[in-house]
Structures are given as structure tokens and as C-alpha cells.
């Protein structure tokens, strides 16, 4: 049985290498850093970067799909400490990304990836002012990630949140602010339109009221005003 498993793994490895123009083999026998015949990165990748011009070096690992980062990517310092965990879709940041220091989790970011192959995209977005309410938003696609969701900052060495921000399609939401989810306008509470009250009706003079009362029901008579014709 063990020989069969090894044989199947060998066949899969050979098929994978046959699709790669360049690649390398890891210590575990995995095919890494594959560049296919169309010069597109694919499969598992590891990247090693030495320190350069004051910038710290790092080791990075993740998966490429059709030359775009996909799924979970991790970066470590050259000392082996975790620097961040990022999630990708279509080569853009998507969902939650976590950033670390030596003390532990430092902050989290929330992103919504846009498909670079589309000119416009329709997204289902939750109305932050109305629970369990969603609207479809059509937006122009610039092929980039958009800040979307809650960003959190933590006290060093603990999971205590010291700051948070909420974004909806790249727009920071201010507490108490109203927004239409179609992105047509944002109206704050301080600038909400109000309906103008009608002015109170002025009471007619007593003499006019008595005249109208005496002449109610009578035909209106013409009054000469000095004009001819």
C-alpha cells in the first residue's frame, strides 16, 4: 500500500514538473516556484529576501493561481517570527489580514477584493444601520482591493481592542452617520433635511369679518375703478 501511495505521489510530481518551464524541489519533494510555459506563476511559492538598504529581510510563502496570489500568504522575519497573515483573491487582498509584532497580534485589516477582469462589479453589502439588511451595489471596478469591514488595533501582548474603524467600500463610517448603500450620498444627522412648517394663518380684522358675514350668499357686484372700455 505504501508503495502505491509513493508511486501516485511521484506521478503527480512528474505531471506538475512537466507543466513548469522553471521550478525547484523542496527538501520534502514538493514542486515550488513553478513558472509555466506561458511565463505565469502557479502552485506553491516561497520567497526569500535578504535585508536591503535598511529594509528588513523576510521569508514568504503562499500559492499563485494564474500569476496571481490566491488564498493565505504568510511572511516571517529572517529570525522566524511571524510578520503577517494575508488573504488574497484574484491577486488582491481579501477578507481578514493580520499583522504581528514580537508581542503578538498588533492589528487586523478587512478587505474586499475586486476582480480585475471586470469593468464593473455587483457586490452584496450589509447595511450597517439596519441589521440583517443587504443591498446590491454596482461599482466601477478599478481592479484593486477596497477597505471593507472592521479594522481593529490591539493592546500589545493582549487581545484587548484599543481602537476600531468600520469601512464600507473604501469609505470610513463615522459613528451616527447615515448613508445610502448605493453610494449616491452620505447625509449626517446634523445636515438632515427638515420640512418647513407652514406659517400660521393671519386672522382677518373684525370689520372685514362682519362685512363678509352680512354679504355672504349675495352675488358679487362690479365696482368701477375709473377705467374705460
Q: What is the mean pLDDT of each run of 10 residues along the chain (229 residues)?
A: 44 59 93 96 97 95 97 98 98 97 97 90 71 78 90 95 95 76 38 43 65 61 47
Query: Cα separation of 14 and 130, whole Å?
Result: 54
Yes or no: say if 115 and 141 are a contact pair by the CB < 8 Å rule.
yes
The pLDDT value recorded for residue 136 is 80
Q: Is 164 helix (H, G, I), strand (E, B) or coil?
A: strand
Domain residue ranges of the chain, discontinuous segments joined by +: 23-179
Closest residue by Cα to residue 108 from 159, 61, 73: 159
Yes or no: say if 40 and 67 are a contact pair by the CB < 8 Å rule.
yes
The pLDDT value recorded for residue 193 is 36
The pLDDT value recorded for residue 219 is 52
Strands 82-89, 95-101: parallel, antiparallel or unpaired by DSSP? antiparallel
The answer to whether the Cα torsion of 77, 80, 83, 87 is positive or negative is positive
Q: Is 2 helix (H, G, I), strand (E, B) or coil?
A: helix
The pLDDT value recorded for residue 68 is 97
Q: pTM for the whole thing?
A: 0.66
What grid cell was written down for 133?
A: 439588511
**Exposure b/e, 143-173, CB count within 10 A at least 16 = b:** eebbbbbebbebeeeeeeeeeeebbbeeeeb
Neighbours of 7 (CB within 10 A): 10
Query: Cα separation of 202 and 209, whole Å?
Result: 13
Question: Look-up: residue for cell 478599478?
Answer: 142
Burial class of residue 84 in the structure, from the number of CB atoms within 10 Å of its CB (0-12 exposed, 13-18 middle, 19+ buried): middle
Amino acid at each position: 500500500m505504501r508503495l502505491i501511495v509513493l508511486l501516485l505521489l511521484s506521478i503527480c510530481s512528474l505531471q506538475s514538473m512537466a507543466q513548469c518551464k522553471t521550478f525547484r524541489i523542496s527538501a520534502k519533494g514538493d514542486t515550488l516556484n513553478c513558472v509555466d510555459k506561458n511565463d505565469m506563476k502557479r502552485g506553491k511559492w516561497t520567497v526569500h529576501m535578504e535585508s536591503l538598504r535598511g529594509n528588513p529581510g523576510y521569508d514568504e510563502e503562499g500559492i499563485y493561481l494564474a500569476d496571481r496570489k490566491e488564498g493565505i500568504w504568510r511572511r516571517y522575519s529572517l529570525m522566524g517570527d511571524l510578520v503577517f497573515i494575508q488573504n488574497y483573491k484574484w491577486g488582491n487582498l481579501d477578507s481578514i489580514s493580520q499583522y504581528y509584532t514580537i508581542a503578538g497580534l498588533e492589528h487586523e485589516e478587512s478587505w474586499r477584493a475586486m476582480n480585475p477582469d471586470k469593468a464593473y462589479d455587483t457586490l452584496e453589502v450589509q447595511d450597517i444601520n439596519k441589521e440583517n439588511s443587504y443591498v446590491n451595489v454596482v461599482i466601477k471596478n478599478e481592479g484593486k482591493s477596497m477597505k471593507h469591514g472592521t479594522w481593529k488595533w490591539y493592546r500589545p501582548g493582549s487581545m484587548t481592542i484599543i481602537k476600531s474603524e468600520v469601512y464600507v467600500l473604501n469609505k470610513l463610517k463615522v459613528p451616527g452617520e447615515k448613508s445610502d448603500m448605493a453610494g449616491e450620498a452620505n447625509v449626517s444627522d446634523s445636515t438632515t433635511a427638515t420640512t418647513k412648517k407652514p406659517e400660521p394663518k393671519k386672522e382677518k380684522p373684525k370689520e372685514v369679518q362682519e362685512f363678509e358675514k352680512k354679504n355672504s350668499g349675495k352675488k358679487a357686484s362690479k365696482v368701477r375703478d375709473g377705467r374705460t372700455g
